[in-house]
Amino acid sequence: MNALDACDNTSIFDVQHTSIFVEAEVVPCRQSVVLTWNTYQGWTNVIAEQQIWLGINGGTLAQVANASVSNSSFEVENVVDGATYCFEVRAVEAVTGAVAKSNQMCLSVDVFQSAEGMFLKNVSVTGSGDVELSWEWNPLAELVEFQVLRSEQNAGYQPVATQAATPPLSATNTYADAASGATAGKVFYKIETRDVCDSVLMTNYGSTIYLTAEAMPGNLNVLNWTAFDIENASVNAYTVHKIEGGSSSQLDMVGSGTTNYEDSYSPTSIESAQACYYVVASSNVIAQNGQIITQESHSNTACVEQAARIYAPNAFVPEGFNQEFRPLIVLGDIASYEMRIFDRYGQEVFTTNDPETGWLGQKNGKNLAQGIYAYIIKVSQANGKTTEKRGTVLLIR
């Protein structure tokens, strides 16, 4: 401002001052607002500070940052979609502390929401061997697609599925991997997303629990499994389950540090000896917002079949109480059977493939003499195991 008299003489205040004018632009893919302004001009002293003032949704303006005195732009990050932001830039003169305010710039923010904060919640194996994944993400995220990634070593992940992320999105999502290989070993997973800004995000990893079951001497089935392993989660306990005769029952609960179990069975029970097992981990998963989610993760189902046991009498009396020589076979699921009887000269006198058919001490329908005869009994099970028993039996007349 300058004053002139009638003779065009100016006042002593003839230094030109330039006010601050601020503009704002939303950057949707960065979730930010960029402010630009012209710096204040006309002070005798330099500018000491440039302050950024902000009010949200009609709130009182407050200083949120300082901009360098040499800059005329500033980026406000992590703005909230749908909120109204009002900005003001203030310059402060050195020495005097004089303050110059810009215009107040207000605008409603419309930014792209990402899947930031998404996490893999659970990895669980079904009874059929599929792996069920569940994860959570921001249902308002503007995504293009997501991929299910799989690995056997928690490295070198490869996509096994790519799907479009079609709105409206759900906060909780699931996917079933039918070709997982979870019945052959431990499998790792991650979920990867790509949004409309081409930003790629990846979840924490999670793996399956791999269970093995082995038939051991002493009427024992021994179970071993890999520890529960989901990043940002912890296991509370494991429960061991047995499937016997088509019905499932819980055998026991073991601590979080235990990954093995021994199940003893009755040798007279074929169903018990041919059982299947699975393990369930109870765990706590910590979400990105700090929420603790309790859930259960199932292992694969592992089956075990004890080897067939052959018990044969050492003597029989065709005309007496024990009239035939027939072995007792326990525990085996018989796929094929063969019994051969030989005399002392090594000549075969009898053979059968029927486990219910015994030897009556005859050859071609004629009684053989009292004496010792050799036998070979072979049993093949449905699982491919073969059990063989050799010995002698006394034929008594």
> What pLDDT band is residue 13 in, cutting at 50, 70 and 90?
low
User: Do residues 73 and 119 lie in contact, with contact meaning Cβ atoms separated by under 8 Å?
Assistant: no
pLDDT digits over 43-100, tens only? 999 999 999 999 999 999 999 999 999 999 999 999 999 999 999 999 999 999 999 9
Provide the mean pLDDT of the chain: 92
Of all residues in the chain, the percent with pLDDT exceeding 70 is 94
User: What is the predicted pLDDT for the residue at 270?
Assistant: 66
User: Do residues 324 and 360 lie in contact, with contact meaning Cβ atoms separated by under 8 Å?
Assistant: yes
User: What is the predicted pLDDT for the residue at 9?
Assistant: 62
Specify the DSSP element, H or E, that contains 273: helix 270-273
User: What is the predicted pLDDT for the residue at 179?
Assistant: 85
Report the candidate in 344, 306, 309, 311 with the shortest Cα–Cα distance to residue 325: 311
> What pLDDT band is residue 197 in, cutting at 50, 70 and 90?
very high
Res. 238: pLDDT tops 60: yes
Res. 170: pLDDT tops 80: yes
Mean pLDDT in residue range 340-355:
96
Which of 34-38, 78-82, 321-325: highest mean pLDDT? 34-38
Mean pLDDT in residue range 27-31:
94
CB-based contacts of 102, cutoff 8 Å, min separation 6:
19, 20, 21, 22, 37, 88, 89, 90
Res. 11: pLDDT tops 70: no
Burial of 7 (0-12, 13-18, 19+ CB in 10 A): exposed
Res. 354: pLDDT tops 70: yes
Mean pLDDT in residue range 297-326:
91
CB-based contacts of 70, cutoff 8 Å, min separation 6:
none
Phi-psi region of 156 (alpha: psi -120 to 50; beta: other; left: phi over 0): left
- Cα gap 86→61, rounded to integer Å: 8
> What pLDDT band is residue 266 in, cutting at 50, 70 and 90?
confident
Specify the DSSP element, H or E, that contains 294: strand 292-298
Greater confidence, 218 or 123? Answer: 123
Q: Return the bridge partners of 376, or none.
A: 340, 390
CA angle 188/191/192 to nearest 5° reads 130
Res. 395: pLDDT tops 90: yes
Question: Among 111-115, 143-147, 160-164, which is the least confidently predicted range?
Answer: 111-115
Mean pLDDT in residue range 164-184:
92
Of all residues in the chain, the percent with pLDDT exceeding 90 is 78
Greater confidence, 290 or 263? Answer: 263
> What pLDDT band is residue 268 in, cutting at 50, 70 and 90?
low
> What pLDDT band is residue 3 in, cutting at 50, 70 and 90?
low
- Cα gap 316→300, rounded to integer Å: 48
Residue 41 CA, distance from chain mean position: 61
Greater confidence, 320 or 147? Answer: 147
Res. 114: pLDDT tops 60: yes
Res. 5: pLDDT tops 70: no
pLDDT digits over 285-294, tens only? 888 778 888 9
Res. 18: pLDDT tops 90: yes
Greater confidence, 393 or 219? Answer: 393
- Cα gap 98→43, rounded to integer Å: 9
Domains of the chain: 22-108 (2.60.40.10), 113-306 (2.60.40.10), 309-395 (2.60.40.1220)
Question: Does this model's pTM top 0.85?
Answer: no
